[in-house]
Amino acid sequence: MRRIDWNTLDADGCREALARPARRTENRVADVVREILDDVQARGAAAVSDWSVKLDGFAPRRIAITPEAIAAARDALPPTATRALRIAADNVRVFHQATRPEDSPWIETTPGARSRLVWRPIGAAGLYVPGGTAPLFSSLLMQAIPAEVAGVRERVVVTPPAKDGGVHPAMIYAAGEAGLDALWLIGGAQAIAALTFGAVFDDGEIAPVDKLFGPGNAWVAEAKKQASARPGGPAVDMPAGPSELMVIADRDADPEIAAADLLSQAEHDADAQVILVSESRANIDAILAEVERQLETLPRAAVARASLAEGRAIRVRDMAEAVEVANLYGPEHLALQTVDADSLVDRLTAAGAIFVGAFAAETLGDYAAGPSHVLPTDGAARTLGGITTASFMTSMSVQSVSEAGARALAPVAASLARLEGLEAHARAADLRSGS
């Protein structure tokens, strides 16, 4: 990890210190993704199959989530794993049921003029679940369950095949917990293209979806971005690319815990980025030494080491400055390992998820606490939040006006319409004024 003293930097240096890995935006990714989208738009399922074989080694396949498939998956997993999956699914469902938006009451702004806000689920959601080297069945729960709670009619899940072309039994069991009827084994930009344009395969059809969801690598993130920019393309949840974690650790933070949290994100992907921020040079030294010690025994050490090459260890003047750095960076995950962690929360304005105190491991949020771990990356946390039940819904205002209300409001509306030079608007209001 690169060491940086924040107070020695000018404005350009500060921006460079908080820059994301360059590969996330390199032209080659954008060009190949554009080629894949164009090909799938032109040739449909044949193009999806060709790219899947070329990039993943296997053609797309539909996996039916039947009682028999769920039972077989359960038998293939240890009881501790199935119990953990059930608990995680229950916690995700409880949290999202409790935070599901509700229709507002009628609000009378003028006597006789009432308005309210109502919420409705979107029709079809495309859910991308990362897989391949590390099947993230937790991401399936974190998307499919909020969509279910929202009332989405069609939930289409795509996930890359495993190295042997199959699917991890935990993915099937998680799909059962989420109430899904199928999974599609398709990954990468070609999966996003299939969700965008639709594709008819021998074993089933993927219809175009209304909105794309889910985290992914640089290719998936770019595909979502380009798909949403196409005429009539789907909406997207947020930029949700390679993982990010910032740890703010004061001089009293436990180096072993801070290092473990940094490595928990570094092992995700070579493009993942971890940043340590502290006012204590001694604790930065201790944490980085602990990172090296723990790294030696990690199964995914090579991936983590590649990620750490893009990491930063930033020394700041105090915790107030640490908060400023966090707000500038807008991390996907922000861990506060400080004595006064609770007091820092009120000053934070940009983070996908905040983990308060030494016991609030980011890993708990990844798997079992309840809120979705699908969160904005690349600084999007400055304006966007993570997936909630509301992400799978739209809101509509409903207005009801009585004759008396129209008489009161029409002259106001007509006057403003004429001020804007819109006479037809004004006449439509006049007709309701009774004059």
Give every CB contact of residue 337 below 8 A, 6+ residues apart in sequence: 247, 248, 249, 250, 253, 254, 257, 258, 261, 357, 358
**332 an active-site residue?**
yes
Burial of 308 (0-12, 13-18, 19+ CB in 10 A): buried
Q: Is the CA virtual torsion 68, 133, 332, 376 positive or negative?
A: negative
Interatomic CA distance for residues 170 and 175, integer angstroms: 8
- Which residues, listed in sequence order, are joined to residue 213 by a DSSP beta bridge? 127
Q: Between the CA of residue 301 and those of 213, 261, 362, what are the distances in Å?
A: 29, 14, 19
Which listed residue (148, 177, 222, 332) is catalytic? Answer: 332
Strand pairing report for 107-110 and 113-121: antiparallel
**Residue 279 catalytic?**
no
Q: Which of 168, 268, 333, 373 is catalytic?
A: 333
d(CA 173, CA 342): 37
Q: What is the largest CA-CA distance in the chain?
A: 83
> How many Å apart are CA 229 and CA 73, to the nearest integer?
39
Structure tokens at 354: 């905040």
Q: Give the span between the Cα atoms of 279 and 248, in whole angstroms.
A: 9
* Residue 201 host element (H or E): strand 199-201
Report the alpha-carbon angle 41-134-170, nearest 5: 95
Tell me which residues are annotated as active site: 332-333
